[in-house]
């Protein structure tokens, strides 16, 4: 009598598979949205060298104190657009000190995007290289 009772019993795994699938989808979706929006890490310069302009290149430096320099002369943020307009064909190379404030970096990049359409190079240098 007991054998007939358990002979027709079946376990339906469909709801369990549905729950596991929904948990999997939930965790995948939440992990992709948990990344930071803007993740910029400025690397350390292993081979720091004295900044020297190469032909066809315009060097702009951002120092550790946030000042902007060109040819070892400190320039203001307001002077930067005129400098970029003076050499429109030169490759813009931004040398950023690894300890430079992020606000100074973003300000210069905004101007460079506006004037150069996003065509520029960003480099880093160690604090003792000038």
pLDDT of 21: 96
Q: Where are the chain's structural domains?
A: 2-32, 57-125
| Sheet order of strands, 73-75 included | 73-75, 68-70, 57-62, 91-97, 120-125
CATH architecture classification, 57-125:
2-Layer Sandwich (3.30)
Condensed to tens digits (0 to 9), the pLDDT of residues 14-28 reads 999 999 999 999 988
Determine the pLDDT at residue 19. 95
Question: What pTM was estimated for this model as a whole?
Answer: 0.53
């Amino acid at each position: 009598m007991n054998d007939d009772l358990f002979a027709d019993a079946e376990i339906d795994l469909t709801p369990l598979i549905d729950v596991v699938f929904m948990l999997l989808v939930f965790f995948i979706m939440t992990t992709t949205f948990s990344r930071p929006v803007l993740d910029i890490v400025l690397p350390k310069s292993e081979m720091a060298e004295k900044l020297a302009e190469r032909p066809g290149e315009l060097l702009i430096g951002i120092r550790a104190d946030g000042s902007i320099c060109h040819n070892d002369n400190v320039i203001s943020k307001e002077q930067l657009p005129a400098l970029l307009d003076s050499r429109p064909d030169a490759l813009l190379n931004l040398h950023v000190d690894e300890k430079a404030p992020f606000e100074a970096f973003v300000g210069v990049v905004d101007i460079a995007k506006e004037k150069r359409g996003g065509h520029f190079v960003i480099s880093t240098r160690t604090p003792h290289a000038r």
